[in-house]
Amino acid sequence: MVHRMVVQYGQPTDAAVFEERYREHVRLINEVPGVLRYTLGRPTSRDGEPPATYLVAELDFASAEAMAAAMRTPEWAAAGEGVPVLATGGVSVTFFDVEDVGPRGD
């Protein structure tokens, strides 16, 4: 079973600055031992208004214990140092075990 961390960043005060800082954050997260998968998604608007969420990051770990171990590493600490400066639009974090329920069917 995979244990997932979902990080949602709100709309930043300056998107260009966010993007520049986030590139460094990605580099640092990619050095964290135990991260199985790291994906990003950028929500889009359906009504022309900017969505509340600017960017969604998903990090997968082998288990909750593996995630906890990764969060105790110096690499994780280095990646986390810039988050308060990066997340000018706010940030929320959720953790959960992923339940694979298979395809929807025909």
Token pair of 81 as six digits: 């140092």
Between CA 36 and CA 66 the distance in angstroms is: 10
pLDDT score recorded for residue 90: 96
Between CA 38 and CA 59 the distance in angstroms is: 5
> If pLDDT is split at 50, 70 and 90, which confidence band does 7 have?
very high
Mean pLDDT within 40-60: 94
Between CA 40 and CA 52 the distance in angstroms is: 16
Q: What is the DSSP letter of 34?
A: T
* pLDDT above 70 (res 106): no
Q: What is the pTM of this model?
A: 0.90
> If pLDDT is split at 50, 70 and 90, which confidence band does 101 have?
confident
